[in-house]
Structure 1
Amino acid sequence: MSETISSVAVMAKRRITQETFDAVVRENIEEFDMEGNEALVEAIEQFESQCVDLSNIVKEVPKVSLEENTQDQTHEVLQALESLKSAVASSSASVPEDLRVFTEQCSLDFARRYLAAQNDAYPTILTCCQRAGEEKEALSVALVALSALTDGQPDLLDVEGREFLIRALTAHQSDPALTCQCIRIIRHFCLKHENNRQAFVKAGALALLTGSVTRHTEHPEVVREACLTLRVMTFDDDVRVPFGQAHEHAKMIVLEQNGLKVITEAAKAHPENTAVLSELCATLSRLAVRNEFCQDIVELGGLKFMIKLLADSLDCQELVKQVLNALKAIAGNDDVKDAIVNTGGAELIVIAMNRHMANAQVCEQGCAALCMLALRKPTNCTVIMESGGALATLQAMKNHPADVNVQRQSCMLLRNLVAHTRDFTQPILEMGAEALISQALAAHRDCGDVGQAALRDLGCHVELRELWTGKKGSLSH
């Protein structure tokens, strides 16, 4: 059985080239007399039945080339790329229009971007960017094309490209549109690529990003893009690298670039823009990596801003989720826990959970935030209980039985509520906690430790499984 699963896992990772896929489509048309769409569907079904990953394949019948005296068939994205290469080689005036056509193709899906990259699109587009020089319109068109091509393809970056982007961002920092375009490309290169992140940080990207937020505070798109890219710099999402610099980058943003003040000040400029405010909260949550940073956020007015934002935007689901996440992050500081509760944060979190009970992510973040507030804080536990926090948590468990994150966070919160305040044990049990925790244990292996701890602290019977008894053998020779 295990060998079968292993072989299926290996098969699921199989890939083919675009040429192989196109050859099968042509064979279906020529050898089996199928129509184009029928041949395409047949090829897709054939490869999928063999567990071939087609995510990087353009699934369309190749078009006949538009060039004169040729009947060659190729995909439109490659036709656009070839036209662009010819225009670049001859320094034709059609380069901007060719770039726009290429951008449209790359914007359709990842498979087209991947196919273009396999055919040397990156050096061609980079050449267009470099040749644009100080011509802002030409540079803008080229940067848009580069952004479209690099979305999801961080491995394309080379030293020349990185140096160009740093130069361009430095040279055009007074232009909000070009600044935004450069930052977006840097983000594409840094997402899921630790080496690129570190290289950009060493090249001075953090100062340029925070500087862009400050310089263009009134431009929401620049603020949002720069904060999102700063947040990406704190990610640990590259599976190819065992240890990243996420924590170090977060500290650098705060200590060297005054990032907390930059972000909290930017929030004041966009009181009605939920997209920008959501991103600012998400970025703050990534920067709250040290006890003193959490306190700094409060002192800079960040907590006051978040509480007001939550109260004013309870109907905005995405914004609520990000505010809850930020509150959870800064509640890592014990003094900040009290500050959140003293400003009515616990009650607002419960209201937000009840308002968006159908959304698993809001429930998860709400439980996680309350869990942090309750940790080692009996007084806060009382406020949470009186606000209906335990009842909202158990309702979240009922509503989202298949979501392991909701179940785990709920179990942890219930345990924290009774760990130092035994008076809450009976009320929580009367709400049906034991059955719901037991269901979570049965459904999710990842709930094992927290679920058993919650049952134990609630005074319920817990079946502990002995992993090793020390019998059957000895450690000594």
Structure 2
Amino acid sequence: MGSKQIAQETFDDAVQENITEFEMEPEEAVREAVQQFESQGVDLSNIVKAVRPPASENGQRQKHQILLTLESLGRAVAEQDVAQLPEQLSSFAAQCKEQLAFRYLAGRNGAYPAVLSACQLAAGHRDLLLQALSTLAALLDGQPDLLDGTGQEVLLRSLRERRGDAEVTLAGMRCVRHACLKHEHNRQSFVKAGILPLLTGAITQHGSSAEVVRMAASALRVMTFDDDIRVPFGHAHDHAKMIVLENDGLRVLIEAAKGKMD
């Protein structure tokens, strides 16, 4: 039986109650709420354990910082403000990288469509695309369910059209890896859409880049995982055969390893 789950709002209300009803200091109120829920067997791994700003004078609830940053990003995307996007993407990505709870809260509040739209807006701007893909990777880390068919197409197109760009390739492959870890449907969809030759091709084309080789090899490895408990039977063995027999993966990996040993 899995651990109990609560909503972010439930945790925030408990913290606020500790402050208003029991006159606790903010940090103490958070610690008390954590202890209270954990003693009840609640899994708080996806909960932002911080004090939400107090309600405004008109009684409107304030939001956690990650959601305020997301709102700013959403406005820049909606207005197609390419000049503002770099700053907003950078700020949002930095907060996503801090902890899963931030990414989870953002994901539940429309972060994926906003970041995906940023990737689409950035298609013709190399540096902005790199930043948008890096932000998407930060958001997808631990949240592969967020990716949809449109996102898959954006990633595949970026990897194909920018295959000569090591940095963009690295960012795109990082997205693919996060999207496929513990997600059999995404793995199968990517393989059917032609991700394997893009990964082996990246190793061949960017063999001098240790980061690219490492990420491509890691993404290939994830394609052979059988780690999605929601699926009774995966295609791990089939994918491994395709990597070796159809994409010359074993030779590519051995040659890359030799190159790093020379």
Q: Per the shorter chain, which TM-score range?
A: over 0.9
Distance 2:195 2:27 in 1: 47
Distance 1:90 1:260 in 2: 47
Structure 2 equivalent of residue 375 of structure 1: none
Distance 1:99 1:270 in 2: 34
Instruction: Confirm whether residue 88 of structure 1 aligns to residue 74 of structure 2.
Output: no
Structure 2 equivalent of residue 218 of structure 1: 208
- Render the CA deviation track for 1:416-456: whole Å, top value 9, x for unaligned: xxxxxxxxxxxxxxxxxxxxxxxxxxxxxxxxxxxxxxxxx
Structure 2 equivalent of residue 187 of structure 1: 177
Distance 1:250 1:133 in 2: 32
Shift of 1:72: 4.4
Shift of 1:71: 7.2
Secondary structure at the aligned position of 2:231 is classed as: coil
Q: How does 1:20-99 map to 2 (within 5 A)?
A: 20-63=10-53, 72-92=61-81, 93-99=83-89
One-letter identity of the residue aligned with 1:215: Q
Structure 2 equivalent of residue 16 of structure 1: 6
Structure 1 equivalent of residue 227 of structure 2: 237
- Render the CA deviation track for 1:447-471: whole Å, top value 9, x for unaligned: xxxxxxxxxxxxxxxxxxxxxxxxx
Residues 70, 183 of structure 1: CA spacing in aligned structure 2 closer, same or farther, 3 A cutoff? farther
Distance 1:151 1:33 in 2: 37
Structure 2 equivalent of residue 106 of structure 1: 96
Structure 2 equivalent of residue 285 of structure 1: none
Of the three residues 239, 243, 256, the one matched with 1:249 is: 239
Q: How does 1:166-185 map to 2 (within 5 A)?
A: 166-185=156-175
Secondary structure at the aligned position of 1:235 is classed as: coil
Unaligned runs of 5+ in 2: none
Shift of 1:73: 2.4
Distance 1:195 1:88 in 2: 29
Structure 1 equivalent of residue 191 of structure 2: 201
Secondary structure at the aligned position of 1:57 is classed as: coil
Distance 1:180 1:268 in 2: 21
Across the aligned residues of Structure 1 and Structure 2, the Cα RMSD in angstroms comes to: 1.7
Q: How does 1:2-401 map to 2 (within 5 A)?
A: 10=1, 13-63=3-53, 72-92=61-81, 93-271=83-261
CA contact (8 A) 2:80 2:121 kept: no
Distance 2:221 2:153 in 1: 21
- Render the CA deviation track for 1:353-410: whole Å, top value 9, x for unaligned: xxxxxxxxxxxxxxxxxxxxxxxxxxxxxxxxxxxxxxxxxxxxxxxxxxxxxxxxxx
TM-score computed with the length of structure 2 as normaliser: 0.95
Unaligned runs of 5+ in 1: 1-9, 273-477
Higher RCO structure, 1 or 2 (CA under 8 Å, sep 6+): 2
Distance 2:218 2:77 in 1: 33
Total equivalences in the alignment = 260
Shift of 1:95: 1.6
Structure 2 equivalent of residue 279 of structure 1: none
Residues 140, 82 of structure 1: CA spacing in aligned structure 2 closer, same or farther, 3 A cutoff? same
- Render the CA deviation track for 1:210-239: whole Å, top value 9, x for unaligned: 000001111111000000000000011111
Secondary structure at the aligned position of 2:124 is classed as: coil
Shift of 1:132: 0.5
Distance 2:145 2:188 in 1: 14
Distance 2:61 2:131 in 1: 29
Give the ranges of 4+ consecutive aligned residues of structure 1 lying more than 3 Å apart after TM superposition: 69-72
